[in-house]
Amino acid sequence: MDGRAALRWFTVLLLVVLLAGGWVGGIGFLTDPSGSGLGMSTDQLPRWPLLDDYTVPGVLLLFGFGLLPLPAILLLARRRPSGFLAAAGVGLLLVAWMLVQFAAIGILLPGMQFGFLAAGLLLLALGLTGARLGRLGGSEVRTGRRNGPARGRKPGEAQVGGGWLMTKRKPSDWS
């Protein structure tokens, strides 16, 4: 496994853990809006509109971190370069979520709060690094069929995106 593949799969793993946490937290707050099931109480919430209980934070957790990482995971699993940018976006959202949480309720659960802040920063760094490596390394070259050029192309001619590229590969190099 090369470095870019390892980076991709580590990013996917971190996104899957975040996705699972979004489901656990979101469903936990929605099934018990008092927050007691997750060790919280409504006294810890700021006196903001719509925050009488943990219903709104539960919905935000479920959609923001229980569903939003899914497109990034799928894009990365399909080796799409935009997957790293999507992962960076999820990381940025997680950092913003944690900073708002620090400002709104303070530091109540330091291990969890700083852990998720670190995960957000790590996702942001992994996403930006992967996107930069993808830009420097270019996109994957598609030659059509595995055992030769696609119909209408000459040996050694490959398609990159919407344009054509002549490669130095000979038909005998195809695998």
Which residues lie closer than 8 Å to 110 by C-beta, 6 or more apart? none
Residue 41 or 127, more confident: 127
Q: Where are the domains of the chain?
A: 3-137, 141-175
- What do you get for the CA distance between the two ends of the chain, in Å? 18
Radius of gyration of the chain (CA): 22
pTM to 2 decimal places: 0.72
pLDDT digit string (tens) for 33-49?
Answer: 998 888 888 888 888 87
